[in-house]
Amino acid sequence: MKAACAELRVNLHGGISKMAHRKPRVEMRSSLVHAELERIAENIPLLDAVELPLKLALHRLHFLSWQERLLILENIHCKEDFLSLGLAEIESFLYRSIRAREPDMARIWEQAERDAEQLVRMGAKFVCVTDKEYPPLLREIHRAPFGLFVRGDSRCLGLQAVTMVGTRMPTWAGVRAAVHLAREAADAGLCVVSGLARGIDAAAHRGALQSAGKATIAVLPCGLDRVYPPSNRPLAAGIIAAGGCLVTEYPPGVSLDRYRFPERNRILAGFSRLTLVIEAPEHSGALITAEFALNEGRDVAVAAECSGSSRNAGADALSKEGACQVRSGAEIMAIMSGSGAWDWANGRSGIIGRD
């Protein structure tokens, strides 16, 4: 206690106290790491020469941002380098303290090697944030994943996309609207992104599969080695067969937990400039996705066909706050054009999203 008090005491003989030195150092470190992370974000390095297990091992360091992991990769290059890492070494690379348990690097490396083997067995791949296939809009969000585990055709990750979400217990009007809007959006050349859940999500995927375009992306809240819900396994297989893909930020073997659903929702919102809430009651998880979209400066719209339905109080509230009601793929494209949107029914501007 005395030593701590001494550092706070001003030197009465004209010198500078220890505390006076400490603040500039902290500010200097903060400024330095900010500049380094900005450099990484603006000039994303190619990691083609980095072995897959090393990328997968870094992916498991969940307490780091993707920019910080790339900064570490500038200082380590192989298994031996990774195994020698500890929190102290990581802190020295990042110029900041880290509040986390000391990671067991040997165990993490073993898990990463198993991940790589399972990807080969499943015919899946790991798309790193530095890869050209990584969704460009997803890279822009807060806490963007360092990488995505992908099963199916990863080329569709780069397509212009619209995210469609809604309740697991929709009305028939909600199912009809999801199928109709997803099919027309796919016909217009958009890739439909949803969460493969029962209800609206599944209907949106099925609507996209009815289109000639057919590409649709399902974002999972668990590892690629399982499908949730299990009843949608045939739908998941149909998505892959039609040229779409299953995507998750979680390695193979990661099970389903409640907290993973809102984590998954931020990725749903991050894929596209527009999140379309088809039908959603109050407190629906779809509203969490809409909130993530708004926080990222993206657009949010609702399905006009579900207005006033018994399962749509949450989406109706979005509409009252200014979300545009859409009725067709053409109206979705009007929003996606970036020129704003129009509430065709009421003859007024009505959009929640970008300034």
CATH of domain 152-349: 3.40.50.450
Note the pLDDT of residue 42.
67
Note the pLDDT of residue 213.
75
pLDDT in tens, 207-239: 999 998 779 999 999 999 999 999 999 999 999
10 φ/ψ sector (left φ>0, alpha ψ -120 to 50, else beta) = beta
| Integer CA distances (angstroms), 68 to 50, 143, 180, 216, 311, in order | 16, 11, 42, 31, 43
Note the pLDDT of residue 30.
54
**Residue 115, phi then psi, degrees to nearest 5:** -60, -45
Where does the pLDDT of residue 17 fall: very low under 50, low under 70, confident under 90, or very high at 90 and above? Answer: very low
**Is residue 15's pLDDT more than 70?**
no
Average pLDDT over residues 40-44: 65
**Is residue 343's pLDDT more than 70?**
no
**39 closest CA partner among 82, 78, 68:** 68
**Is residue 20's pLDDT more than 90?**
no
Distance between CA atoms of residues 303 and 83, nearest Å: 51
**Is residue 36's pLDDT more than 80?**
no
Average pLDDT over residues 165-191: 97
Note the pLDDT of residue 83.
96
340 φ/ψ sector (left φ>0, alpha ψ -120 to 50, else beta) = left
pLDDT in tens, 94-119: 888 888 889 999 999 999 999 999 99
Average pLDDT over residues 175-198: 97
Average pLDDT over residues 175-182: 98
Among 196-200, 314-318, 335-339, name the one with the lowest average pLDDT: 335-339
| Integer CA distances (angstroms), 61 to 44, 120, 169, 275, in order | 19, 22, 36, 29
Where does the pLDDT of residue 26 fall: very low under 50, low under 70, confident under 90, or very high at 90 and above? Answer: very low
pLDDT in tens, 253-276: 998 888 899 999 999 999 999 999
Note the pLDDT of residue 264.
96
85 vs 37, higher pLDDT: 85
The dihedral formed by the CA atoms of 212, 337, 303 and 328, expressed in degrees to the nearest 10 = -50
Residues 6+ apart with CB under 8 A from 114: 252, 253
Q: pTM for the full model?
A: 0.84
Work out the percent of the chain whose per-residue pLDDT is above 70. 82
Note the pLDDT of residue 41.
62
Where does the pLDDT of residue 339 fall: very low under 50, low under 70, confident under 90, or very high at 90 and above? Answer: low
- Long-range (24+ apart) CB contacts under 8 A made by 253-257 are 253/114, 253/118, 253/223, 253/225, 254/222, 254/223, 255/222, 255/223, 255/226, 256/221, 256/222, 256/226, 256/228
In the chain the first and final C-alpha atoms are separated, in Å, by: 52
Distance between CA atoms of residues 74 and 218, nearest Å: 33
Note the pLDDT of residue 74.
86
Note the pLDDT of residue 340.
52
Domain boundaries, the chain: 23-122, 152-349
Tell me whether the omega of the peptide bond preceding residue 229 falls within 30 degrees of 0, making it cis.
Answer: yes
**Is residue 18's pLDDT more than 50?**
no
**Residue 4, phi then psi, degrees to nearest 5:** -65, -40
**Is residue 193's pLDDT more than 60?**
yes
Average pLDDT value for the chain = 86
**Is residue 173's pLDDT more than 90?**
yes
